[in-house]
Each structure stands twice: as C-alpha cells, then as structure tokens.
Structure 1
C-alpha cells in the first residue's frame, strides 16, 4: 500500500500536560505556590506558605516559589486560598475542522499565528525550528467542557539580544465567568478599556537547583475568548538565560492582539496550515538555519510550470526531532493535484547495490550520475482509506538522491486517481537543486 501523508487540516497528534493546558482557563503555569512581589502586594501577609519541594527516587527535586495567604492582590476584592494543583495529560488526534468548535479552523489557526507573530517586538526573533515550534496554532484536542484539552496552542523559542527563552500562547472559548482571584495564581488583576479582565503573574520554579523564570498574562475577553501567554527564560533544550525575553506589558499586548480572539474575522487570502512533513531517515545530523536559507532560496525557481498552494521555500526541521529538513506542499496544477514532499538528511550511507525487485506494486530503478550521486526511483500504486472509511486509488513516484558526501534527498509526489503525480524529471530537478544548495 502506498504511504500516505496525513493532512494536517484533518488531524494532528498532540500531547498536553494539564499543568500547562490549564493556562487557557486561568489556572496555573510554573507553579501554584507563588509569593506576590513586594511592589504588587498592598497589605502585609500574616501567613507564609514555604516554597514546595517534590521529589521521588526517580524524579528530580522540584521547588516552586512560595505563596503568602491571607493576602491582598491589586484589582481583587477578595482572594481565595490556594488549592491543590492538578496534573493530567491528554493524547489523541486534534482537528482543525472539529464541529464542536465552529469558531476554529485551519485558516483561523493560520490567521491567529500571523497576528501573533506580527505583534511581537521587532527585536524579538523567533528561533528557527519546526512548525510546531514556530508559533503555529495546533489542532484542538478534547470536547468543550472537558477537563483536559479544548484549547489551541502555539509555541516557539525566542531570542532578544543575549536573552533566550520560550513563548506559549493558548486560546479557547468559554462561557464561564472570570475566575475568582486565588493566591499563587496571579499577582495583579486589571480591567482594560475594551472590557477584558487581565491577570498578571511573575514566578519561578527550580528543578535540581536550576531556576526558570516565567511571566504569565491571561485575558478574559468580552466575547468569551480566553487568551493566555506564558514566557520563560528557558529555550527548549537549553539552560535558562536569567532574563525572560518578553515583559509583562508586552505579554498584555500579545493577549489583546486583534486576530487572536475567537470571534475575530479571518483575513481574505489566508491559507490552510502547512501539511506535516517528515525526514525520511531514522536520524540525520542537524542542518542549521543557514543551510535551510540556501536550500529554500534555490527551490523557489525549481518548480517550473508547477503550481502549488504555497512556495516550496520553507524547509524546516520536522516536528519528530529526527534532524534534517523537510516540507510538504499541495500541487494544484490541473491534472496533477497531488502532494509533494521533500526531505533532506546528512550522514547517510551511499547505496552499494541496486534495489531488488519486490511485489508488483512497485518498480524500482537506480543509476549513478557522472558526479557520483546515486539516484533511485520507484513507482507505487495502492488503495488507501481515510478515517471515515472512504477509499482512494493512489499513485506515488519517489526519487532518492544520495550524494557522495552522504547528503540524501527524498522527493515524493502522491496523487489520487485520476490525477497523476509529478514526473521523475520534476522530482530529479528538485533533488539536484537541493543537493547543490546544501553544500
């Protein structure tokens, strides 16, 4: 059966931790027990709950900032006692077209992402990474009112001068009232001119003695939108930088950004989300942003006579963390409606023998170019079924180019009958162009 790339417009697998997912509902991030900063506290506390530490023989030592209660919080008529933190997880297929969320769609996710990126300060750089770490809003998990899920989130690593960190923004729709002020969940509450209620918090958490700082702002907007932005000083996979790259005031601007609210319109011409892609090897050496820029620039002119839903100039690391670069686009040329996937990996072995004939469903071939690159081609025919049980006949052409230095380029075109995939001539042009640009 031919390999079929799932449409991100239909499904996406996501894991959400409740301690993070709860941000969208104004619950917590970075710790329940937090002592409000002195300048944000209007009355001296009478009881101090010390910083909490949790550890087991198999987990790191985790310490959170302490909370003071009873206390007063600016903007709050009363303050509830801190309650126990809840943990949980949600795993499953999220959808951009879930009828349970009529306000949300793939195009809405792209419009929200565009608005979010545009509102960041000009000196803040979104670090190069996969779409899942580039402020693209994800499909929604769960049903409305469920304990877990029900929100869409976008995340990225950020850099501002010598300050590195991360940003996570969630959006959901809710008809629940603004939650009560609870000690440890906010440092200040404001009501802004458009009627939104804003909760602000600065806190920290230590794991094995390494402290991570965070700023969190949640907006409860008049149309029922709940938008939360969490910024930390810890880029993914790196040590904390000691300074959060976004201030609380900048996060207020983020959560009030036009285009992020549930009811904000989708601008004309907004595209569907990019299709998911995967590097077609188990592992590859990392290809950095400079290499991606070279390849993307070269590929802009490699599709002569072929139209696509978006330019083939956004190769990125895949969300699977397997190294290399990839991109998948929709071919819209009449009679050739299909998907086109490009994968680039480093450090791969050069094939030493031609592929052996297999079942009748594919016909392999191989040759070596004058420059020593090995080019393998195959065609596959198969029947596929989607999640609704609908079947389709698919025709796939794949070309794999392995250069002498170990650079491997996989180019695949898949079409449903009666459309035809792109020709091997087109696939080879893309592979040769990519190979030359990587070096």
Structure 2
C-alpha cells in the first residue's frame, strides 16, 4: 500500500468525525434571540416564562453536547447532570458530570441515573428540562426496576452483547428493566416542558432506540423483550426473566405509549447522525481528488460478513479506477457474535475480515472506524486493512484467520501496525467504513 493512501484516509476519517461534532450540532440546533429560544428550527420557547432550565443528559457525547448548550444558553441554565463514559467527561459550570462504565453498567452509572431522575422529578410546570442524549446512554444510565439488581443488568447486557443482538433488540430488553428508559424520564419530569436533542448512533435514527428513548413513547412491549431473549438464545438472571414474564402477564406497568399524557409537553429532535459524518468525509475525499460514492448509511449485520462484502465491492471497483482514484463510503453499525476469548471490537473484526480478503491486493486501502473513538473494550477506534495486513501480522507470528475465529482482532492488527487510535472524539454517530482505490500508475492529488 502506498503511503499517500493512508495519509488521505486519516484526513478523510478526521473530516467525518468533525462533520458530526456533537457540540457544534447542539450550537446549530439552539438559536437564542433575547429571551426567545428556537429549537432545531421547529419550535420556540419563551425563556421569560420559564422558571428554571435544567440540563439532563447521558451518552458518550453528552459532555460535548452540554458544552454546546452552555455556549448558547449560558446563565439561563440553572443546573444540570451529565453521565458519560470514562474519559469522555469535561468540566462544565453548574453541572455535575458523572463518568461511568460502558458497555456493561456499573454503580457510578446508577448514581448518575438516580441524579437525573431526581432533577427531573424536581422540575415544576414552568421549568424547561433540556435532555441531551447520545449513544451509550442505555448502559451509562442503569436504573433497574424493583427486584432487578445492577448485577442482573450487567449479566443481561453482557449476554446480549455477546449474542450479536442488534441495538434495537438490546434496548427493547433494557427499556423493560429500566426506570428511566422507554419514556420514563419524561414521565418523571412531567408536567415540565421537556426538549430533547439527540445525536443518533442507531441506523435510521429512531428516537425510541437512541439511548433507549427515555423521553419519547415506546412502541415495544414485554412480549417483544421476551422474544428477543428467545430468538438470540440468551440465558439471563432469573430475576430478569421473572420481571419480563410478569410484565407480559399484565402484572407490571408497560412503558408509556404514544398517547400518554406524560408526552403532552415533550418534543425531541435528532441533531446529528451518520449521514453527517459520511457527507463530511465525502467533501474531504473530493478535495483530495477522489471520485466519491456514498454507498449506504444503513449497514448492519455480522462484522466479518460485512467485511467480506466490502472487500468484494472494493475488488469490483478496482477495475474501474483507470483514470482517477475512487473513494467508497459506508455507514452503519455491525454486530459481533462472540465465540472466542479474544479482544477486539466490531470495527476491528470487520477490518481484519477485509484484510483476509484483500491479501496481496495492491492499490486498495480500507478502514472501519467507530466515530466515538472507541471500539469494544480496547484503546482503538478501529483499524486499516490493505493487501499487506495479513503478511505483516504473520511476520509477528500471528495468524489472521485464527484471530478471526477467536474474535481476537486487536492483537493481530496491533502487530500489523493497522490500529486507528483517536481517543474520545466528542461525537457518536455509528461507524464509518472507507475504501480508497488508487488509479494504477497515478497518485491522488495531495
């Protein structure tokens, strides 16, 4: 692989992240003219008639979002509480910032969720609750229902993650074990006015899935949650199954639905998503001289299968790159059904599967990146893959196919020199997959 492809890939991926910056997205969504606040160009709030503005938020990008809210609203904000992933926090005036574990919840997240519920319940009918949500909030705000413990939540979360369940499926279960997800935060804040801004980390941007939809109606049921466990073959703690079965039998209250009065003064807006990242990447790739195709923004499925499909796409496009280099962009979120004891994440597994298919192929570079800067329980955001990745790993004594079988992409890609490490990015809009195909004998413009 020529060096300029990797240099260009880094610039394109950086542009993708910058285009979906959560702080900037909130600043764009909130417009203040005197005491008139316009939200997402769709609704107005007369702050002169508001008693207090409280900010409540959770997710990997929540601190960045809160920083944007403070930039616009300043002293209008009386207090707030934000829960985010370890390392993603910030020093925010008049706000408590909790850092907690992700993706498997811990006691710090429980404390953050309890504080969020306390502030919501303390809001009066003249108050405005500004709720800031981004991916990761479901795990960062564990608020188990009576009879279910944090250990139970940890167990079911880990089992669902390992099963390859989609985020929609995982959150269907989590909402029915929570006192904050599935519309319950809106219920706690009623009758206050609730305005939610969300940075989407789910394919399609469904508000009831983002962060488990704490301020919007929930269309799923206890029956749906039980069906997820059945279809994925997930063994869960007895208390979890007992609660879900009791709910299905009508012995537990369902999550608030579409016409529930708790949503009478609640609104929600998606302010950034995967498409923003893809479009930012496309602009940078065009600037660098590539012919750009945004192939899809709804990629789902097993990471290694998607990697194989992207490799096939790259090989097909390679034949077309006769006069100018080509950049392919895809977005979405894959899953991994964990079958081995290895270390990695969905983007690293996808990249390694790509590398296996691209072994020995020249003039092609691919990358898969988690826009939040983290991929699985590792220090990497994702990885590159090219025709030499497998060879470089083999030179270090590692076998790519064996690493895939054991879900152990991280050590292999580290040895190959292909990991991408960004640190926390201030956003979370799913993943970006990039393929650069160079024109034979030509170099893309610098």
Normalised to the residue count of structure 1, the TM-score between the two structures is: 0.25
Q: Which has the higher contact order (CA 8 A, sep 6+)?
A: 2
Normalised to the residue count of structure 2, the TM-score between the two structures is: 0.24
**Higher helix fraction (1 or 2):** 2
* Greater radius of gyration (CA): 1
**Higher strand fraction (1 or 2):** 1
